[in-house]
A and B are shown apart, each in its own frame.
Chain A
Amino acid sequence: MRIFLEFEKPVAELEAKIEELRRMVGDDSISVADEVAKLSEKADRQLRTIYGKLTAWQKTQVARHPDRPKASDYISALITDFTPLAGDRAFADDAAVLGGLGRFRGRSVMVLGTEKGSDTESRVKHNFGMAKPEGYRKARRLIELAGRFGIPVLCFVDTSGAYPGIDAEARGQAEAIARSIEACLGAPVPVVAAVIGEGGSGGAVALASGDAVLMLEHAVYSVISPEGCAAILWKDSAQAPAAAEAMRITAEDLKRLKLIDGIIPEPVGGAHRDPQAAIAAIAAAIDAALQPLLKLDGATLISRRRAKFLEMGREALA
C-alpha cells in the first residue's frame, strides 16, 4: 500500500481509479488500456505539478515520509564490503547512528548515517533516528579513525534531532555533539555529507560539518522543527507551515544562502516513489563532490572547510 500525503490527494484519487479499472478487467485487458494510459499520464502530470512547487511545510512532510529511503537503504545499495563498526568505547553502541567501513565505487570509505528505521520494530531499535551521546561519540571515533588512515568520510543525515532524554543529558549530549562537530571540522580527509530526509538541528550538524554538504531536493535542514518554532514564536504549533516557510529550511533556500553546497534532484513524486532513482542520483552527486576533494591534502582540506563555514551568514537573502 502506498502512503499518500495530504497534498497528494488528487494523485491518490487518480491512482485509485487506475487500480480499480485494472482490477475490474484483469491486468492487461485491451479494453481499458487506453483509459488507464490516459489516467496514468494525468496522474504523472499532477504529480509533476504538485512536486514542482512544494511549500517548505510540504517538503517537511516528504522528508519525513515513512517510505522515504533511509540511511540504511543508501548504505546497502551504494557501499560494498560494508563492515559495521560499533560502539563509543565508553558506554554503549547507539543504533541510531550507523557506522562502518566499506567501499564506495571501489574506494575505501568511512560511512556514517543517522537511521530512522522503516517499520515499527526497526524504528524502535534505532530510536527513530534520535541519537544519544554514545552515537555522536561513535561518530567522532570513526571520523578520527578515518582521518588516521586517510579514508574519506561519507555521512547520510536523517534525524529529527538528538534524543531529548534524561540519560542523554546525564551522559553529556551537548559535549558529544560538540566533539562530533569538532571531529568533522578537524578531519584531514574529505567529509561529504548528504541530508537525505530531515536535517534536525544540532543532531544533524554533528554529522554534517563537512567539505561538501549536499541535500536531496525535498530534504529539509533546520535549527528547530517547524512545529517547535511555531509553538515558541507563534505560541501555536498549528502555525508550523508558516514557521517552515519563514525559517528557510528547503534545499533551494539553503543553497541560495550558501549554507549548503549542492542539491541532489529527486525522482518525480519524491525519493519514496522511486528509491532506485534516488540512490543513483545520490551516488552520482557524492562521487562528483568527492573527486575534487581527493586531490587535496589534509591541511588544505581543513583550512578550506574552515573558510567555508566562517563565510556563512555574511550574506543576506536578496
Chain B
Amino acid sequence: MNWLTEYVRPKIRTLFGQRDVPDNLWGQCSACQQMVFNAELDKNLRVCSHCGHHMRVKATQRLSWTFDGGKHTRIDLPKPPVDPLKFRDSKRYVDRLKDYREKTHLDDAIVVAHGTIGGHRAVVAVMSFDFMGGSMGSAVGEGIVAAAKLAVLQDAPLIVFTASGGARMQEGTISLMQMPRTVIATQMVKEKGLPFITVLTDPTTGGVTASFTMLGDIQIAEPGAEIGFAGARVIEQTVREKLPEGFQRSEYLLSHGILDLVVKRAEMNATLGRLIGLLRVKQLDAA
C-alpha cells in the first residue's frame, strides 16, 4: 500500500462515480471495492494489491502465466456438433454461442496448450468462466479428453485449471455425460503413470467439480475461490440455516481435507514445476 492507494484512489472514486471510470485505466476489486490501476493489476497477475483477492482471469492470460516465460503452443480442439438439441429458452442456444464466441474470441469454455513448467514438458487445459459461466458441455468434455490424449502422446503431466458454474444445461443430458467422459480422460493419463494435477479457480462448482476436478493426484486451489458441488443458495434453501463463515471457499476445503494446497497465483508456476519434478522420479531414473 502506498500514498496513492491511501489518498488518491478514494477521491477518484468519488469524482468519477463507479460507472464513469474508464475501464481501460482503472479496475475495481470486487472483494474490497477499492480502485486499482489496470496496468498494475496485470503486473500483479490480476491479484488485488489491497486485499489479495484473486480476480477471475481470461484463459489466455492464465496460459501465459502458467508456462515458463509465457511460452506455449495452443492446440486446436475437436468441434462437436453445435447445439445438438436445438435448444431454445428466451434465446436460441446457437445465438448465445455466437455471442459468446464474438465476445470472448474463444470457441468454447476451454483452451489447451503445451509448453514447459519448471523446465518440464506439460499439457495445460484452462477453463474460461467468461464463456457461458465455464459451463461444461460437449466442447469442454472434448477439450479435457483431447488434453489427456495430448499428455499421453507427449508423455507429459496434465494440469487443468478449472472455472465453472456447472453443466451446460442447453445440452441437456449430453452435458451430464461429460462427467463420465472426463473421468475417463483422467484414467487415460493416470494409467500411463503421468501426474494429473487440478488447479481450482473461482468458481468451480457442479458437475465439473464432481468429475475430473476431484480426481487430481494433486489438487490445488487459488486463495478464496468458491468451490463446491451444490450451489450455496440451493443449500441454504434446503437446510434453512445460515451457511458457516468461509463455507465453500478454498481455505474451507483445505481444512476439510479436500485439497492438497492453496497456492497464490504468483507462486503457481514455481509450485507446479516443483511438484512435477518431485513426482516424475521414474522418468528421470529411466533417462
Bound-state Cα–Cα, A163 to B235, Å: 9
Which one, B29-37, B52-60, B171-179, B260-268, is touching chain A? Answer: B171-179
**Contact across chains for B85 and A317 when beta carbons are under 8 A apart:** yes
Report B-chain residues with C-beta under 8 Å of the C-beta of A10: none
Interface residues on A, range: 35 or more
Report A-chain residues with C-beta under 8 Å of the C-beta of B207: 201-202, 223
Which one, B117-125, B150-158, B237-245, is touching chain A? Answer: B237-245
Q: Contact flags (1/0) for A224-237 with B, using CB distance below 8 Å?
A: 10000100111100
Q: Contact flags (1/0) for B138-177 with A, using CB distance below 8 Å?
A: 1001000100000000000000000000010111111111
**Contact across chains for A209 and B174 when beta carbons are under 8 A apart:** no
Report B-chain residues with C-beta under 8 Å of the C-beta of A309: 177, 180-181, 184
Which one, A76-84, A117-125, A242-250, A272-280, is touching chain B? Answer: A242-250
Bound-state Cα–Cα, A232 to B238, Å: 17
Q: Does B21 contact A (CB under 8 A)?
A: no
Q: Contact flags (1/0) for A158-183 with B, using CB distance below 8 Å?
A: 00001111101111111101110110
Report B-chain residues with C-beta under 8 Å of the C-beta of A175: 210, 214, 258
Q: Does B1 contact A (CB under 8 A)?
A: no
Q: Does B80 contact A (CB under 8 A)?
A: yes
Q: Does A22 contact B (CB under 8 A)?
A: no
Smallest CB separation, B258 vs chain A (Å): 5
- The residue from B179, B235, B248 contacting A181, defined by CB atoms under 8 A apart: B179
Report A-chain residues with C-beta under 8 Å of the C-beta of B88: 246
Bound-state Cα–Cα, A172 to B176, Å: 19
Q: Does A310 contact B (CB under 8 A)?
A: yes
Q: Contact flags (1/0) for B183-201 with A, using CB distance below 8 Å?
A: 1101100000000000000
**Contact across chains for B174 and A312 when beta carbons are under 8 A apart:** yes
**Contact across chains for B258 and A205 when beta carbons are under 8 A apart:** no
**Contact across chains for A248 and B90 when beta carbons are under 8 A apart:** no
Q: Does A313 contact B (CB under 8 A)?
A: yes
Smallest CB separation, B236 vs chain A (Å): 9
Bound-state Cα–Cα, A181 to B82, Å: 26
**Contact across chains for B173 and A259 when beta carbons are under 8 A apart:** yes
Known: A162-B230, A233-B169. A174 touches B214 (CB 8 A): yes
Smallest CB separation, A27 vs chain B (Å): 48
Report B-chain residues with C-beta under 8 Å of the C-beta of A246: 85, 87-89, 172
Q: Does B234 contact A (CB under 8 A)?
A: yes
Bound-state Cα–Cα, A126 to B207, Å: 23
Report A-chain residues with C-beta under 8 Å of the C-beta of B137: 313
Within 8 A of A (CB), among B80-98: 80-90
Report A-chain residues with C-beta under 8 Å of the C-beta of B214: 172, 174-175, 177-179
**Contact across chains for A259 and B177 when beta carbons are under 8 A apart:** yes
**Contact across chains for B248 and A248 when beta carbons are under 8 A apart:** no
Report B-chain residues with C-beta under 8 Å of the C-beta of A185: 180, 183-184, 187
| 24 A-B pairs (CB sep. < 8 Å) | A162-B210, A164-B229, A165-B230, A166-B235, A169-B235, A170-B256, A173-B210, A173-B230, A178-B210, A178-B211, A178-B212, A185-B180, A201-B167, A205-B176, A222-B172, A223-B173, A233-B170, A246-B89, A247-B85, A254-B173, A257-B173, A315-B81, A316-B85, A317-B85
Closest 10 CB pairs of A and B: A164-B230, A316-B81, A174-B209, A247-B172, A316-B84, A175-B214, A233-B89, A174-B229, A177-B210, A174-B210
